[in-house]
Amino acid sequence: MSHLAKDMTPSVTWKDITPGCNIFEGGTSVTVETGDWRTMKPVIDWDKCKQCLLCAPVCPDMSIPVGADGKRGDFDYFFCKGCGICANACPFGAITMVKDEK
């Protein structure tokens, strides 16, 4: 019997799920794409961005990665739900919310 989250597919019956619904790894939610909830999408204008990083801690979805060089990267659209908090927190107007068309 597997104890890994990736093996817990809908075809697994109750007899084979982990006892007490325990999960023996951390952070398994990273396979869940919450980006498809989005209607508006943040877009960054790198010319306006001053790397002040005020947008990084306000993201509820950990979608603003800050690299080892202390600079923010592009949005992680796999998780970003398009709430727009970052666009409002940006003091330089470098982030704009646009309609997310697929």
Partner 1 sequence: MAYNLKENVMKEDRLAGGHRMCAGCGSPIAVRTVLRALNPEDHAVVCSATSCLEVSTFMYPYTAWKDSFIHNAFENAGATISGVETAYKAMKKRGKLDETWKFIAFGGDGGTYDIGFQSLSGAMERGHDMVYVCYDNEAYMNTGIQRSSSTPHFADTTTTPAGSVVPGKLQQKKNLTKIMVAHGVPYVAQTTFIGNFKDITEKAHKAIYTPGAAFLNVMAPCPRGWRYPSEKLMEVTKAAVETCVWPLYEVIEGKYILSYKPKEKKPVEEYLKMQGRFAHMFKPGNEWMIEQVQKEVDRNWEELLKLCEL
Among positions 49, 66, 96, 100, the unique one binding partner 1 when judged by CB under 8 A: 66
User: What phi, psi does 45 have (nearest 5°)?
Assistant: -100, 105
| 29 is an interface residue for partner 1 by CB under 8 A | yes
Q: Which of residues 72-101 bind partner 1 (CB under 8 A)?
A: 76, 78-79, 81-85, 87-89, 97
Q: How far is the CB of 17 from partner 1 (least distance, A)?
A: 8
Q: How many Cβ atoms are within 10 Å of 55's Cβ, its own excluded?
A: 24
Q: How far is the CB of 47 from partner 1 (least distance, A)?
A: 21
**Phi-psi group of 51: left, alpha or beta (phi > 0 → left; psi -120 to 50 → alpha; rest → beta):** left
Among positions 68, 99, 101, 102, the unique one binding partner 1 when judged by CB under 8 A: 68
Cα separation of 64 and 87, whole Å?
A: 12
